[in-house]
Structure 1
Amino acid sequence: MGSATTQALEVSNRGLASTEGIDLQVASELFAIARVVGGSSHLSGALADPAAPAAARAKLVDDVFGSLSPAAVSLVKTAVEQRWSNAADLVDGIEELAVRSASIAAPSTDLEGELFAFIRTIAANPQLELALGSRLGSPDAKGALVDTLLGGRAGAATALVVSSLVQQPGERRVRQLLSRALRIVSDQRNRTVATVVSASPLSRSQAGRLASLLSAKYGREVSLNTVVDPAVIGGIRVQIADDVIDASVASRLAELRHRLAG
């Protein structure tokens, strides 16, 4: 991510924080705008053109998307008025605004947990990931497939995020898209997500103690996504971003075998 994009994202996200009336309709419109902009190299190029005046780029947003909600239009205008490293980063930035809006609109939904569960479902089913990530499938068909898979199993915000992202994966893998969305939601909610792998399910008290210890270590609230994998034998493996804490028996045995092999 270039420095221009980093700054543009910061300004765009501050605009979101000061915008009232954020609901799932606004999030849905932002996803739709991202798809339209991402699907047109001419439009994305014009909106991200640093040589064009910011006011002209904002006017183009009004001309193309002026019939949508004032909140969605205002957020996109703020985004296009910034300088982005490239047009693809602008599209990603609008998608990020959409994901953050969905998180804001559904504060009581366990969006992180539901996204993680769907990511695990995809990881366990390569054919499903292929179907959702294929360029040959129509966006509507992919959205319908997600609705079928999530029907009654996840909230409206989760269904919106997943179905919207799989409709235009571009060069990105579906799991990559959804993992990025999970990180964005966690950041919006001022949390850090830890993936915990253990040989058997953690009890509520064990999970609570672990979350408290990790929160103290990282200086912000940590929520746990747990995976049961008998291969770890015992103990746990914790991953937060690029940090890995491996206290599993399998890891210790592997280390011991390595030492014995000399």
Structure 2
Amino acid sequence: MGSATREALSNSRSALAGLGGKAQLATGEQLLAAGRVLGTSFQLRAALADPSGDRDAKLSIVNAVFASIDASARELLGVIATNVWSSEDDLLAGVEEIGIRVLAQSAPSSDIEAELFAFGAVVQSDSQLELAVGSKLGSDESKAALIERLLGAKASKQSVAIVSHLVQQPRGRRIGELLRFATSVVADEAGLAVATVTTASAISAEQLTRLTAALSANYGRGLRINHVIDPSLVGGVRVQLGDEVIDGSVASRLNELRLQLA
């Protein structure tokens, strides 16, 4: 991530904070929809991502093209568009992130992270489903309809909106990566980080609570834990937080021993 994008993201997040926690579901949905419009229009995307472009001209474009979206969504999109991004793709990523953060704010009582994680686990275990939501051959409309059928009655409207957007605009990312990104953004909006804890067998709620407390103390921030059971680990625990992996599993140690013997 370039320095321009880091500053643009910071400014965009500050604009979201300026809404004072009044984010609405429709605002987040409209922002993500605007991002998809930008993704399909090279001219529009280029005009808003041009680092030398005039600020007032960009605002005029946003107000003209997206006149139908609500005032909050248009205001946030205007802030995003008038900042300088390192690339056009970073601009799209910025719209996506702010849209997901708005949706997270609009559902403080819903466990969106858990819903996204659960859907990711289902997709990972079903190769046909993964192909259906990730194929370049399927239309955006058919993918959105599939997500509605799968999640509409089981998950929050916020989670459905996030997943529907991700499968329509993957930008070269696989579904697992898309869901991990969205989960991390939702957790960060709540001041948390997401850690995936994998064990060979089920552990008690008390053990999971102690592990969460220990990891939170180690990383210096609150954590939301996703627990996965994988018998192939044999024993021990593997923890993944972002790109960092702590592998204390028996399987990992056995593999290290095999490498040493080889």
- Taking structure 1 as the reference length, the TM-score comes to 0.96
Which residue does the alignment assign to 1:94? 95
Q: CA deviation at 1:257?
A: 2.6
Distance 1:243 1:153 in 2: 31
Q: Give runs of aligned pairs for residues 72-87 of structure 1, distance below 5 A.
A: 72-87=73-88
Distance 2:253 2:174 in 1: 33
Q: CA deviation at 1:186?
A: 1.5
How many residues were matched structurally? Answer: 261
Which residue does the alignment assign to 2:13? 13
Q: CA deviation at 1:259?
A: 3.0
Which residue does the alignment assign to 2:218? 217
Distance 1:98 1:113 in 2: 19
Runs of 4+ in structure 1 over 4 Å off = none
Q: CA deviation at 1:175?
A: 2.0
**Partner SS state of residue 225, structure 2:** strand
Which residue does the alignment assign to 1:162? 163
Distance 1:32 1:244 in 2: 34
1:189 aligns with 2:175: no
Q: Is there any run of 5+ residues in structure 2 with no aligned partner, and where? A: none
- Taking structure 2 as the reference length, the TM-score comes to 0.96
**Partner SS state of residue 246, structure 2:** strand
Code of the residue aligned with 1:66 in structure 2: it is: A
**Partner SS state of residue 30, structure 1:** helix
Which residue does the alignment assign to 1:136? 137
153-162 or 216-225, which deviates more = 153-162
Q: Give runs of aligned pairs for residues 1-262 of structure 1, distance below 5 A.
A: 1-20=1-20, 21-261=22-262
Distance 2:171 2:236 in 1: 39
Q: CA deviation at 1:136?
A: 1.8
Code of the residue aligned with 1:7 in structure 2: it is: E
Distance 1:201 1:40 in 2: 49
Distance 1:226 1:51 in 2: 47
194-203 or 36-45, which deviates more = 194-203
Distance 1:74 1:138 in 2: 30
**Partner SS state of residue 9, structure 1:** helix
Q: CA deviation at 1:255?
A: 2.3
Q: CA deviation at 1:141?
A: 0.9
- The superposition leaves residues 217-237 of structure 1 with CA deviations (integer Å, 9 ceiling, x where unpaired) of 011001111111100111111
Distance 2:173 2:259 in 1: 36
Q: CA deviation at 1:113?
A: 1.1
Distance 2:183 2:174 in 1: 14
RMSD across aligned positions (CA): 1.3
State the identity %.
46
